[in-house]
Amino acid sequence: MPDWLLYTGSRVPHDGIDRLPEPPPWRAFSGGPAVAPPPADAGNPHRATTYRPSDDAVQQVNAALYLRRPLLVTGPPGTGKSTLAYAVAHELGLGRVLHWPITSRTALRDGLYQYDPLTRLYDANRDGRAVSASRAIPAGDDEDIGRYLRLGPLGTAMLPYNRPRVLLIDEIDKSDIDLPNDLLTIFEEGEYEVAELVRRADREPQAAVMTADGERVPIERGAVRCRAFPFVVMTSNGEREFPPAFLRRCVTVRLRQPATEEELAAIVRQHLGDLADESDDVIRRFFERSGSGALATDQLLNAVYMIRHADAADRQELADRIMPYLSGVADDD
């Protein structure tokens, strides 16, 4: 294994991230005050410890870590695009993965932070505080506005941690057309502002805000700037093209389906242990059918598990029912 690799794909936790060199001058950030690191537990240990990355994926993960650039991961469903983030967090001890699932209605603000003015107004009325008629918010100077703000996954990842947080932006190809370009500024500058805090910065220079982890952290004058650029994994099923300006700022990797029955058997063995030894016929059936339509590896895992516990008379028929083509009926059916 080359010495320069920090993430090796070994699935064994180690302190390799401590060997990460200083960033390129154009990717150096100096945010503060420093925020305490999260617990080392990456969450979902099964996914993190059973993932088998390709050599290409390992190389590109390390390139993204060294260059402090987002990693854009593409490939068919079931190839482990999302799981890669959990595997990196587990092996390098980078804490809980911050997961930001994307839909067509997702905007940049959703990932940065949420502000709850209604609860703020309710608390003001309940406590008898003055209320601003123009903006329907409390007008007092002694109010803790941080109680009504919560950072999203992206906003939390950009806090000034000494070690990079892992941020999973899942299915970014489903986003509104503007989101990739909106992310460029955040990723290039490594900072953002919380407008509600900026407006109060002169009388309240520091506010404690809730993170996506459920911890309260201080923010100075409404500005958040990272210290260690997060390890960002953006997944895409290839449903759209991205602008060149966005692509040139990403490290890219395309994951593929297993190419042989032996690779499939190794994946089944990693997830289900000795059940792989009793499933040669199911693995062979999956491999044969995958040439006629889209299938995902987790369908094979489901089929192997069900056949083992259902004690079906016709194993092939049960397998076919649990492994339907993701794009409908196969072309030659």
Predicted confidence (pLDDT) per residue in 191-214, tens digit: 999 999 999 888 888 999 999 999
Distance, in Å, from the CA atom of 227 to the CA atom of 211, rounded to the nearest integer, reads: 16
Q: What is the pLDDT of residue 291?
A: 80
* pLDDT above 70 (res 91): yes
CA 280 from chain center: how many Å?
34
C-alpha closest to that of 173 among 237, 99, 253: 237
Residue 185: CB atoms within 10 Å: 12
Residue 8 has pLDDT above 90, yes or no: yes
Label residue 138 by pLDDT band (50, 70, 90).
very low
Inter-residue contact 43 to 119 (CB < 8 Å):
no
pLDDT, residue 137, reads: 46
Tokens representing 128 are 């008898």
Measured in Å, how far apart are the chain's first and last C-alpha atoms? Answer: 45
Count of other CB atoms within 10 angstroms of residue 54: 18
Q: Say if residue 135's pLDDT is above 70.
A: no
pLDDT of residue 127: 64
**Burial of 72 (C-beta count, 10 Å sphere; 0-12/13-18/19+):** buried
Q: Any residues with CB less than 8 A from the CB of 184 and at least 6 apart, and which?
A: 245, 246, 249
- If one compares 77 and 330, the residue with the highest pLDDT of the two is 77
Q: Which domains does the chain have, with CATH numbers?
A: 16-254 (3.40.50), 261-322 (no CATH)
> Comparing 66 with 308, which gets the higher pLDDT?
66
pLDDT of residue 332: 43
pLDDT digits (tens, 9 = 90+) for 286-325: 888 888 788 888 888 898 888 888 776 678 888 888 888 8
Q: Which residues pair with 149 in a beta bridge?
A: 115
| Least confident residue range of 50-59, 238-247, 319-328 | 319-328
pLDDT bin (cut points 50, 70, 90) of residue 331 is very low
Q: Collect all residues with Cβ–Cβ distance below 8 Å to 42 and sequence separation of at least 6.
A: 48, 86, 89, 90, 94, 95, 96, 97, 166
- Rounded distance between C-alpha atoms, residue 149 and residue 146, angstroms: 5
Reply yes or no on whether the pLDDT at 102 is more than 60: yes
> What is the phi-psi region of residue 140: left when phi exceeds 0, alpha when psi lies from -120 to 50, beta otherwise?
beta
Triad 220, 225, 228: Cα angle to 5°: 130
Q: CA nearest 31: which of 169, 147, 192, 146?
A: 192
Task: Report the residue count for the chain.
Answer: 333
What residue spans of the chain are helical by DSSP H?
A: 45-50, 55-67, 81-92, 108-112, 117-127, 153-157, 179-189, 195-198, 244-247, 261-272, 280-289, 297-310, 315-322
Nearest CA to 169 out of 185, 161, 181, 180 is that of 180
